[in-house]
Structure 1
Amino acid sequence: MKTSDTTRPRPGAAILLTALRRNKGAMIAGTVLMSLYQAAETAFPIALGLIVEHTMRDRGLGSLGVSIGSLAVIITTVSLSWRFGMRVLQKANTTEAHRWRVRVAACGLQPVARDVDLKSGEILTVATEDADQTADIIEVVPLLISSLVAVVVASVALALADLRLGLLVIVGTVAILSVLAVMSKRIGASTREQQAKVARAGAKVADLIIGLRPLHGFGGNHAAFEAYREVSTDAKRQAITVARVNGAYAGTALALNAVLAAAVSLTAGLLAFEGRITIGELVMAVGLAQFIMEPLRLFAEMPKYVMMARASAERMALVLAARPVMTAGAGHPEPGGSLEVEGVRHGTLQGVTFSVAAGEFVAIAAYQPRAAADLASVLAVNAAPHTYGGVVRVGGREIADLSIEAVREHLLVNPYDGEIFAGTLRTNIDPAGTGRTITEAVEASMLTDVVALHREGLDHVVRDRGANLSGGQRQRLSLARALAADSEMLVLHDPTTAVDAVTEQLIARNVAKLRRGRTTLVMTSSPALLDAADRVLVLDGGVVTAEDTHRNLLAGDDAYCRAVAR
């Protein structure tokens, strides 16, 4: 029998339960210590009442010494239990937040993308703010229980003095929590909306930073800034709404707590006036009425933090519970095999068929740049096999039957807009720190002048997105990274568009030499790279229309000559 949507556990709740189960030991220890803290805090006004009561009967120094000693024990217990209790809980909170950040980041970095309607900037917010707020549940539950302990201890102590005082605290607490439970739902809904809008603003600014250079190029930066301002303003308005709701919640909680404290104090005063309780019990009741406001405040605030943690957990579930866009196989390609593309139809591709033999250097001259991008997407498995027609085989096996990790270990596709990371030249060329061909890759990509230009050499610092490098330097750094990987099959997409003709000629010669005996496919319009290839495929109108050496095509194909001659 199928489980209905109404009874199936929600992913956000499952995430919170996982966090609670995983930190059960720390939460038990923290709950015991924080309950001890609250009990000791509650014991302080009770002790004062007892001291007053006994002092009035026995005015000796011995009673005074016992009283001072009792207060010292209570104060020490309060101090140490709070210190160690919060240390345990905050350590568990921080560790749990780290675990969820890593989980979300791992999902974003998986070779198979997940079907989630979030931009990278939004996923960044989920991996930081939402992970932290979800982990707060580890502190919320012990604080909630310890606050309840304080209320129970206070109620029992007051009930022993007079049953009506104890009942007043219990009834008042239930009434306050009932009112605040209704208000906390509004906080949860408003917080979810705020988190979504802040995440969208983060995604917008991430897109803006990525496209800043081209935006400046055609004067579109002002329009982009205005678009971001609009999204950010929307997030600001929602933040103000959440602040108003939180303010109303906090104000209502404080007012209701004050009303309860006043009611307890006035009732105790009336009972003392009527002689139903002693002076010592009156001191205790007034002290507890003042003290109980703090645990009641914590007790009242906890539902709000629970709703915030639940909202953040639901957003994390969008990433963690999202299904992969494709189901990869588990096979591995045969080493030293060929690359075969048969009848592929995807985007602008209208049935592309070609093969690259093992160890061959082949170039593709795409007359329409979009076609090269679509082909690169298919070969990089950015497009799932079920989303396009035709077949791609790597090492004699269809990509659909291979694991993504195996495909990418065997076949590396270096995009034309390869990302540059903050770090050094060395960490950009060899991120894993395992490369053995860094020197050869640097020389082949003509990055030697950049390395020689700086005293630190390969350890020269690179800023985020390569902000301190020119366009040509960034492109050569990306090419060096692809060559240093020394993969069995390498696909390069427009690797030299930002370098001068002389450098391009040297790179073409070096790449052909370095990749000799390795399968290489270059999609380019560079005459130097086309000439270095064993053969050239012409991609026009989404199909391969011609195939020959670069020089033969130049001599016999006018369209090719016009497309690639510079």
Structure 2
Amino acid sequence: MTPTNPMRSRTGSAILRSALRRNVGAMTRGTVLMGLYQAGETAFPIALGLIVEHTMRDRSLGALGLSIAALAVIITTVSFSWRFGMRILQKANTTEAHRWRVEVASCGLQPVARDVDLKSGEVLTIATEDADQTADIIEVVPLLLSSLVAVLVAAVALGLASVQLGLLVIVGTIAILAILSVLSRRIGAGTREQQARVARAGAKVADLITGLRPLRGFGGNHAAFGSYRTVSAEAKHQAFVVARANGAYAGAALALNALLAAAVTLMAGRLAFQGQISIGQLVMAVGLAQFIIEPLKLFSQMPTYVMVARASAERMALVLAAPPVTVPGRGRPEPGGGLDVDGVRYGSLDKLRFTVSPGEFVAVAAYQPRAGADLASILAATVPPGAYEGAVRVGGRDIADLSIEALREHVLVNPYDGEIFAGTLRTNIDPAGTGRSVAEAVEASMLTDVVALHRDGLDHAVRDRGANLSGGQRQRLSLARALAADADVLVLHDPTTAVDAVTEQLIARNVAGLRRGRTTIVITSSPPLLDAADRVLVLDGGVITAEGTHRTLLGADTTYRLAVSR
């Protein structure tokens, strides 16, 4: 069957072609203006030669004024064509880079797992640096064509003065490009390897930041830092290799370009000495020989930029072309429905069965933390349906038949380690900016003291990962965000492990009150939350072994009493 997602068939070459097709209009306008710029630059030494030639025959103020006017027109043309040409190309470049960043980020954030061996840090590098470098192709092609215009204009102008000079420029340019094309292949291979190693180093940093606190807890931070040092050193070494190759390439290009310019100048001098060209043509030839170095330099640098863009596009294809492990359905659950877990076997779960009625507040007391984490992963749909036995139904529909968007609108699973983002308290609670239920969520999560503590209130700045908040404050902020979403089915996984007992008691009462009439599941061992629930399910050995109210279980089940008592 033909894949429904066009991204899956993309390769690095296809990505570059797509970028070029989307920007053909901007590139055409940019090419015309940059070609006009290069033609104007080339016309300057040609005009000087003609002025010298004309002035030697007609030494009058009128001729001088006409010459100055001609140079003014050329300079104005050069200035405005460069200004507006680069504006068009850079705008298109920036817009295209934004498109690719969004597409890569969209694929990286898909809740359906993807069969691709890339960590989050590598995806981040691809979504930033590689997206930008791929979009550079929008500028590279017009600049390449405009440089070709300059070389051709110079070759034609010199050919009109002397066929030998024109042929020298054409043959010399072809020879230079042939030599540099060999060197550029080595740069392309080295660049791909460098980008891969830098991305791996970025992934290692992301892993370290995420697990820094646990690492410090058992003294593993030094070993982890040593591992990062090794990965970073490999990236540094590869960067040196690429830098040496780039240096050799740039040096060779400069030397070859200078050699061609010198050859043109010497041949023009010899032809003038022999009387085959005039003094004005000699001035033109010397001026063009000096000018042609710049477009030749730009022309010779283009293969390197193309190689870098190609390498980045191929890395983007790793994300964009990765097929999903499973294809989500298109259905939608019935609003206000309950949740049914039917014979789920996954990880530590062993044919788990239970039902939560619509509007019910149920607590799951997981004796083994791994079982609670596995259950949360299943309900969050981070585990594709094909990876476990059994079924999970929401609102009467199997989640395998639901679209991811519909499932996310209906069910919200708030993990125990919910991320806190750089921004403000308000943007963390209400990322969409809808403003619904924010005040109620702040009060229910007992975040009111944090808001009152700061002069800016909900607009108080929050650093990346909540670095300027305590553990309990981060946890309450994450809980407030989950409550403010007001999902039909809310699943909370250990939402109060970092708060004190008094605050935990208040949170349990507030959550039960705020969620009254809404389906709520709390995976927890917290006595206040267990007591606030309508019903407690005991999860032991991967199955439900007991159920009832918290107080009933305390009196009837010694194991339960020992497991939840603090």
TM-score normalized with structure 2 length: 0.95
CA distance in structure 1 between the partners assigned to 2:392 and 2:435 by the alignment: 28
Q: Cα distance, 1:222 vs. partner?
A: 2.1
Report the alpha carbon displacement of residue 9 of structure 1 after superposing the two structures with TM: 8.6
**Aligned equivalent of 1:426:** 426
Which residue of structure 1 lines up, in the alignment, with residue 30 of structure 2?
30
SS at match of 1:353: strand
> 1:401: which partner in 2?
401
Shift of 1:10: 5.9
CA offsets, 1:186-243, max 9 Å, x none?
1111111111111111222122222222223332222222222221111111111111
1:51 aligns with 2:38: no
What letter corresponds to residue 245 of structure 2 in structure 1? V
2:313 corresponds to: 313
1:151-198 CA distance string (max 9 Å, x none): 111111111112111111111111100111111111111111111111
Q: CA deviation at 1:67?
A: 2.3
1:100-119 deviation line (CA, Å, top 9, x unaligned) = 22222222233434333222
5 Å matches for 1:461-540? 461-540=461-540
Change (3 A) 1:51 1:553: same
Tell me the distance in 2 between the aligned counterparts of 1:546 and 1:439. Answer: 37
Q: Secondary structure at the match of 2:353?
A: strand
Matches of 1:67 and 1:517, distance apart in 2: 87
Amino acid at match of 2:202: G
Structure 2 distance, partners of 1:64, 1:335, is 85
Aligned residue pairs: how many? Answer: 560
1:227 corresponds to: 227
* CA offsets 1:54-74 (integer angstroms, 9 cap, x no match): 233333333333222222222
Deviation per residue, 1:489-515 (Å, 9 max, x gap): 111111111112222222222222222
Partner-residue secondary structure (3-state), 1:413 = strand
Write the letter of the residue equivalent to 1:81. S
Which amino acid letter does the alignment assign opposite residue 212 of structure 1?
L
Structure 1 residues 72-221: aligned runs within 5 Å: 72-221=72-221
Q: 1:510 to 1:118 in 2, by over 3 A?
A: same
Q: What is the distance in 2 between the residues matched to 1:511 and 1:322?
A: 40
- Tell whether the 8 Å contact from 2:121 to 2:204 is kept in structure 1 after alignment: yes
Distance 2:85 2:284 in 1: 27
2:349 and 2:542 in contact (8 A); partners too:
yes
- Name the counterpart of 2:5: none
State the match for 1:414 in structure 2: 414
Tell me if the contact between 2:113 and 2:384 (Cα under 8 Å) persists in the aligned partners: no
Could you tell me how far 1:356 is from its partner in structure 2?
0.8
The Cα shift of 1:295 comes to 0.8
Residue by residue over 1:286-322, the C-alpha shift from the partner in whole angstroms, topping out at 9 and shown as x without a partner, is 2211111111111111111111111111112222222
Give 3-state SS (helix, strand or coil) of 2:341's partner.
Answer: strand
Q: CA deviation at 1:435?
A: 4.2
The amino acid that maps onto 2:375 is: L
SS, match of residue 216 in structure 2 = helix
Letter in 2 for 1:498: A
Q: CA deviation at 1:48?
A: 1.9
- Paired with 1:308 and 1:375, the residues of 2 have a C-alpha distance of 44
With structure 1 as the length reference, what TM-score do the two structures score? 0.95
Pick which of 264-273 and 352-361 moved more. 264-273
Change (3 A) 1:528 1:37: same
Q: For the Cα contact (< 8 Å) 1:361–1:519, is it kept in 2?
A: yes
Segments of structure 1 that go 5 or more residues without pairing to the other structure are 3-7
For 1:88 and 1:555, the matched residues in 2 are separated by: 76
Alpha carbon RMSD of aligned pairs, Å?
A: 1.8
Kindly state the Cα deviation for residue 51 of structure 1 after the two structures are TM-superposed: 2.1
Aligned partners of 1:435 and 1:485 also within 8 Å: no
Task: Please give the secondary structure, in 2, of the residue aligned with 1:164.
Answer: helix
* Kept in 2: contact 1:337–1:394 (CA 8 A): yes
How far residue 341 of structure 1 moved from its aligned partner, in angstroms, is: 0.6
What residue in structure 2 maps to residue 550 of structure 1? 550
Contact 1:155 1:170 in 2 (8 A): yes
Q: Counterpart of 1:171 in structure 2: which amino acid?
A: V
AA at the equivalent of 2:145: I
Output the amino acid matched with 2:554.
Answer: L
What SS is found at the alignment partner of 2:416? coil
8 Å Cα contact 2:113/2:383 also seen in 1: no
Report the AA paired with residue 220 of structure 2. Answer: G
- Aligned mates of 2:115, 2:109 — CA distance in 1: 13
Offset from partner CA, 1:385-426 (integer Å, 9 cap, x none): 011000111111111111112122112111111111122222
Bigger mean CA deviation after superposition, 338-347 or 201-210: 201-210
Could you tell me how far 1:147 is from its partner in structure 2?
0.8
TM alignment of 1:379-390, pairs within 5 A: 379-390=379-390
What is the alpha-carbon distance in structure 1 between the residues aligned to residue 276 and residue 193 of structure 2? Answer: 54
2:326 alignment partner, SS class: coil
Separation in 2, partners of 1:88, 1:404: 38
Q: Relative to structure 2, which stretch is displaced further, 316-325 or 145-154?
A: 316-325
- Please tell me whether the aligned partners of residues 111 and 405 of structure 1 are also in contact (alpha carbons under 8 angstroms): no
* Aligned mates of 2:452, 2:193 — CA distance in 1: 52
One-letter amino acid matched to 2:152: V
1:139, 1:504 → 2: CA distance?
58
